[in-house]
Amino acid sequence: MFFSRNAVGMEITQHGAKLVRVGGKKMAPALLGHEFVEFPEGTVRLLHREPNVLEPAVFVSRIKETFLKLLARTSMVSVSLPDACGRVTLLDLETRFKSRDEGRDIIRWKLKKSLPFDVGDIHLDYQVLREKENGEISVLVAIISRQVVTQYEELLLEAGIEANRIDFTTFNLYRFFASRLAMSENSLFVAFHEGVLSILVFNQGILEFYRAKELAEAEPDMNRVFMETNSSLLFYRDKNPGRELKEAFYFASEADSDLLRTVISEASSIEPFKLEAGKFVAGSALPGAGHGLLPSVAAALGAATRNL
């Protein structure tokens, strides 16, 4: 393990940042180090169209000091940003495209009337999920304002960090648990993390529904969590009649875990399987890296595995 490649992942939230240093393998990372930092209230505000960091000097100094404590051997960091910074959508397109750039142009044209900002001022990435027999394709699209992502990149660079990969937190949570979730073809994945409820539905192993909803940041209102989960599943079933979920998975802190299990069971009529963060790491050389720590850094761990 001493000679294995190390990677660093970071999750940025409205209230602070979590950094982890990992080694081992992509599907079984080993936690070698971790650091947390809190931001003073008002340092970061999650917005679609405008730069999120309202106090750049504070942000840079706090991140730089924390990153140095991590004792990383690399400046390259895979970064997880809150889903609320951007937008994720699933699209069905009538025609295939010849190149990745052509795909971006077609997607921009398709979305130009529904986006909350100018299509010329966005960073857009996408993944082809399915090619249908009739020539149509399904794509997963992630969008973020250039002003937003550029500010994060530049401020992190000032702090000595090269953000070589940037993704949204929901997908980094999925990435951390992917070795189990990918084994199920028709499934539901629900996560409650940092006050955000994430709901993903897969059919034949392909993502067919995505939703990330920011809820109250204090103790969660499980009635609202139930309403959001139930309405999401009703929408999915109305759009995809005949689809049957075979399995359901959930992830939350220990404090919220039992309540979330009950919510999912009632909304889906399936007894869900609890994803325990400790079962997805190879081990830890750190004292106290147990039930409380690992769930809190799951998104940062998922981000870090992109650099393994």
The pair of structure tokens assigned to 288 is 């106290």
* Tens of pLDDT, residues 143-184: 999 999 999 999 999 999 999 999 999 999 999 999 999 999
* Tens of pLDDT, residues 238-264: 999 999 999 999 999 999 999 999 999
The pair of structure tokens assigned to 276 is 């325990």
What long-range pairs does 118-127 form, CB within 8 A, spacing at least 24? 121/145, 121/146, 121/147, 122/146, 123/149
* Tens of pLDDT, residues 14-38: 999 999 999 989 988 999 999 999 9
CA 205, distance to chain mean position in Å, is: 18
pLDDT value at residue 3: 43
* Tens of pLDDT, residues 76-135: 999 999 999 999 999 999 988 889 999 999 999 999 888 777 888 999 999 999 998 888
pLDDT at 273 over 70: yes
pLDDT at 280 over 50: yes
Instruction: Give the number of other Cβ atoms within 10 Å of residue 219's Cβ.
Output: 9
Domains of the chain: 7-83+147-169 (3.30.420.40), 85-145 (3.30.1490.300), 178-274 (3.30.420.40)
Residues in CB range of 109: below 8 A, 6 or more apart? none
Coil/strand/helix, residue 279: helix
pLDDT value at residue 298: 97
| Position 2 confidence tier, pLDDT thresholds 50, 70, 90 | very low
Q: At what angle do helices 56-69 and 146-158 cross, to 10 degrees?
A: 50
pLDDT value at residue 289: 57
β-sheet with 122-131: strand ranges across: 87-93, 137-145, 122-131
pLDDT averaged over the chain?
Answer: 92
β-sheet with 273-274: strand ranges across: 206-214, 196-203, 187-193, 247-252, 273-274
The answer to whether the beta carbons of residues 80 and 193 sit under 8 Å apart is: no
Across residues 272-281, what is the average pLDDT? 95
CA distances from 48 to 88, 105, 117, 229, 285 (A): 12, 21, 8, 24, 39
pLDDT at 268 over 50: yes
End-to-end CA distance of the chain: 13
Strands (E) across 63-121 are located at 76-81, 87-93
Across residues 51-59, what is the average pLDDT? 98
pLDDT value at residue 115: 79
Residue 295, H or E segment: helix 293-296
Instruction: Give the number of other Cβ atoms within 10 Å of residue 209's Cβ.
Output: 19
pLDDT value at residue 5: 72
d(CA 194, CA 13): 8
Portion of the chain with pLDDT greater than 70, in percent: 94
β-sheet with 283-284: strand ranges across: 162-168, 76-81, 7-12, 16-25, 28-38, 283-284
The answer to whether the beta carbons of residues 156 and 79 sit under 8 Å apart is: yes
Q: Which residues of 24-33 are buried (b: 16+ CB within 10 A; e: fewer)?
A: beeeebbbbb
